[in-house]
Amino acid sequence: MKKITIISTILFLSVVGFSQDVMPDTYDGVAQSNKQKIFIDNFDDNRYYWIKESSPNTHRIADGYLFFANDFGFPFIDGKPINFDANKNFEFEAKIKFVSGDVEDFNGLFIGQLIFGDKYFYGFSSMGKYKIEKETGLQTETIVPETALSSINKTAENTLTIRKYGDKYYFFLNKTLIHEMPYETLPGNYIGFNVSKKTLIRVNYIRLHYIKD
């Protein structure tokens, strides 16, 4: 009887130990075991065809990074269409470093339509600020205005995360929750980068996962 009780206790503790409760408003509240890969690019090669060699908008891959240069006099976006169900729970993340340009301008992520379409834009500046916007047609809605955040790395990489779980979006910057808002259906299935005028950024990785319950 004692041996059975001990075995039962061990089995119970094992189950509890491997159970991962999801806490979407905490960065580490979603365990890696709860994530299912949809799209990951660590820029070890050009398998997803990022490289562009013609100015004024050029991309190159070197040493495991994507270098995205925008020589236009206005912001430019580029991304990839990903076949995923945005009604499911998901997490979109990239690690980005500002290399050169105007330190007051914002660079970061977009998700939605590529060009002439609706999208969300989430970016940071090397002045230590972030902002979140939604573009609808020719109109831009400010969701979060320019806001200072001491944890923004002005000369190093910053990790930007957009998490959708249940009926909310959660935005993290360097693992700090900076905004949450009600879920709205995404206007498109492109993910990628928004780079300001006359700017060079360096991207360490871009990732998209489903979050399993």
pTM, rounded to two decimals? 0.89
Reading the block at residue 115, the tokens are 């060009």
- Confirm if 162 and 24 have CB atoms less than 8 A apart: no
pLDDT digits (tens, 9 = 90+) for 152-206: 999 999 999 999 999 999 999 999 999 999 999 888 899 999 999 999 999 999 9
Domains observed in the chain: 21-211 (2.60.120.560)
* Mean pLDDT by groups of 10 residues along the chain of 213 residues: 43 44 95 96 97 88 97 94 95 98 97 89 97 92 97 96 97 98 92 97 98 90
H helix runs in the chain, sequence order: 2-18
Phi-psi map region of 175: left, alpha, beta (phi>0 left; psi -120 to 50 alpha): left
Task: Name 31's bridge partners.
Answer: none
Q: What is the residue whose two structure tokens read 């690019």? A: 41
CA distances (Å), origin 11, targets 1, 4, 18, 21, 140? 15, 11, 11, 18, 54
